[in-house]
């Protein structure tokens, strides 16, 4: 029986690891949540709803989206029970997402519940439309950080990409988040060829002027309408080249904790940018994430269709040990990589908003 991560497996050595190299032979029954490739999972993304008040072009169709029934969604007490078990297995970071997490009523109480469980690193990814009025309460309940999505700094274009939201509301949300101390504030930008890829320098300037971290995310094959096209993707490398032709960039050493973004600072002043090159430069070798969907399925990868449902366990009096076993098995079954660039790759059946981005 393996009880811990093999000696010598650190985030740094994992990065250099060939992803198909098996390093743990038997599923551990204690110790951290480790998979066959030695990746330790301590970062849990909890989707609280698949619903959203927006219809971003790269995420959902404008009309015709169907959503889960209310009773399919985990209740907050069920989410907290799951989170408590995960915490006992070494999970120490929780991010709330969706859909749009702030369209779920009472989110503040969920944050408070997570905080009461002892989680210190609680964060939120949001479209920002509902954030301004909740930021203070969320921070008081224990939320630490927030990522706000914003794909254009041009009002008309912002509205065309995000549909049903306006840029001014989201810029206000950024101010409110900062006033509430939800720092560092990160801005997520999905670049689409021919739509907003001429704003790379504007966003870099925005990062320099505001001190907010701007993270450029590659378009992934996770849109609900199945229209993903590699030609629409703007590679992180290109973003780097465009910005560094204007301002000198310096890489920021990755911290011990694995993170998807390759980070850079501006040599001549404030500001930081991040490149999340999920498609062109996958970071699967250091992936430490697992996800709980809003209907109670554990997903070990955004791009895998394999899921382990825990809702029935949670609703039928399943023990903590049984939930822990489900978690361990889900992590153990993780593939070495997402396979987007392999021949025959198929987009997963559930899209980003259904899984939790």
Q: How far is the CB of 215 from ligand SF4 (least distance, A)?
A: 14
- Under DSSP, the state recorded for 71 is G
Closer Cβ to ligand SAM, 23 or 191, answer by number: 191
Q: Does 271 bind ligand SAM (CB under 6 A)?
A: no
Closest CA to 265 of 276, 275, 280: 275
Residues 15-54, one symbol each (x = binds ligand SAM by CB under 6 A, - = not), give: -------------------------------------x--
Helix/strand/coil for 175 = helix
Closest CA to 12 of 278, 332, 290, 257: 257
Q: Does 277 bind ligand SAM (CB under 6 A)?
A: no
Closer Cβ to ligand SAM, 59 or 234, answer by number: 59
Are 105 and 130 in contact, with CB atoms under 8 Å apart? no
Residues 95-114, one symbol each (x = binds ligand SAM by CB under 6 A, - = not), give: --xx-x--------------
Find residue 274's DSSP bridge partners. 215, 263
35 binds, among ligand SF4, ligand SAM, none (CB under 5 to 8 A by kind): none
Q: How far apart are CA 350 and CA 157, in angstroms?
A: 28
Are 154 and 161 in contact, with CB atoms under 8 Å apart? no
Residues 54-73, one symbol each (x = binds ligand SF4 by CB under 6 A, - = not), give: xxx--xx-------------
Q: How far apart are CA 190 and CA 219, in angstroms?
A: 6
Tell me the residue length of the chain: 357
Helix or strand run (H / E) with residue 14: helix 11-16
Size of the site for ligand SF4 (CB under 6 A): 12
Residue whose pair of structure tokens reads 């991040």 in the numeric block: 274
Query: What's CA 269's distance to the chain center, in Å?
Result: 28
Q: Does 112 bind ligand SF4 (CB under 6 A)?
A: no
Size of the site for ligand SAM (CB under 6 A): 20
60 binds, among ligand SF4, ligand SAM, none (CB under 5 to 8 A by kind): ligand SF4
Closer Cβ to ligand SAM, 42 or 294, answer by number: 294
Are 57 and 163 in contact, with CB atoms under 8 Å apart? yes
55 binds, among ligand SAM, ligand SF4, none (CB under 5 to 8 A by kind): ligand SF4
Q: How far apart are CA 256 and CA 254, in angstroms?
A: 7
Closest CA to 352 of 299, 287, 274, 285: 299
Q: Does 336 bind ligand SAM (CB under 6 A)?
A: no
Q: How far is the CB of 74 from ligand SF4 (least distance, A)?
A: 18
334 binds, among ligand SAM, ligand SF4, none (CB under 5 to 8 A by kind): none
Q: Does 199 bind ligand SF4 (CB under 6 A)?
A: no
Among positions 47, 112, 123, 127, the unique one binding ligand SF4 when judged by CB under 6 A = 127
Subset of 202-241 contacting ligand SAM (CB under 6 A): 217, 219-220, 222-223
Please count the other Cβ atoms lying within 10 Å of the Cβ belonging to residue 20: 10
Residues 6+ away with beta carbon under 8 Å from 338: 278, 282, 284, 301, 302, 303, 304
Closest CA to 264 of 253, 280, 276, 278: 253
Q: How far is the CB of 146 from ligand SF4 (least distance, A)?
A: 13
Closer Cβ to ligand SF4, 126 or 308, answer by number: 126
Binding site for ligand SAM (CB under 6 A): 52, 58-59, 97-98, 100, 125-127, 149, 188, 190, 217, 219-220, 222-223, 352-353, 357
Binding site for ligand SF4 (CB under 6 A): 52, 54-56, 59-60, 98-100, 127, 149, 353
């Amino acid at each position: 029986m393996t009880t811990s991560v093999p000696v010598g497996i650190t985030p740094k050595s994992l990065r250099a690891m060939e992803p198909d190299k098996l390093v743990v032979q038997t599923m551990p029954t204690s110790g951290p949540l480790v998979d066959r490739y030695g990746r330790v999972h301590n970062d849990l993304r909890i989707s609280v709803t698949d619903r959203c008040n927006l219809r971003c072009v790269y995420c959902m169709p404008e009309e015709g989206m169907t959503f889960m029934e209310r009773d399919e969604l985990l209740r907050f007490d069920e989410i907290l029970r799951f989170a408590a078990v995960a915490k006992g297995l070494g999970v120490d970071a929780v991010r709330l997402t969706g859909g749009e997490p702030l369209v779920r009523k009472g989110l503040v109480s969920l944050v408070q519940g997570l905080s009461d469980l002892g989680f210190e690193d609680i964060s939120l990814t949001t479209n920002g439309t509902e954030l301004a009025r909740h930021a203070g309460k969320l921070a008081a309940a224990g939320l630490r950080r927030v990522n706000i999505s914003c794909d254009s700094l041009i009002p008309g274009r912002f509205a065309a990409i995000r549909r049903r939201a306006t840029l001014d509301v989201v810029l206000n949300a950024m101010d409110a988040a900062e006033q509430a101390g939800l720092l560092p504030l990160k801005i997520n930008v999905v670049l689409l060829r021919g739509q907003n890829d001429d704003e790379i320098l504007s966003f870099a300037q925005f990062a320099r002027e505001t001190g907010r971290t701007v993270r450029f995310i590659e378009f992934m094959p996770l849109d609900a309408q199945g229209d993903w096209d590699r030609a629409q993707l703007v590679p992180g490398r290109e973003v780097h080249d465009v910005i560094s032709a204007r301002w000198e960039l310096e890489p920021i050493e990755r911290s011990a904790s694995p993170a998807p973004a390759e980070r850079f600072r501006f040599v001549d002043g404030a500001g930081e940018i991040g490149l999340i090159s999920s498609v062109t430069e996958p970071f699967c070798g250091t992936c430490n994430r697992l996800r709980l969907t809003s209907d109670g399925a554990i997903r070990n990868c955004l791009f895998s269709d394999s899921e382990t449902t825990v809702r029935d366990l949670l609703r039928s009096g399943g023990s903590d040990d049984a939930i822990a076993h489900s978690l361990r098995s889900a992590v153990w079954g993780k593939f070495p990589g997402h396979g987007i660039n392999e021949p025959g790759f198929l987009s997963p059946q559930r899209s980003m908003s259904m899984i939790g981005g």
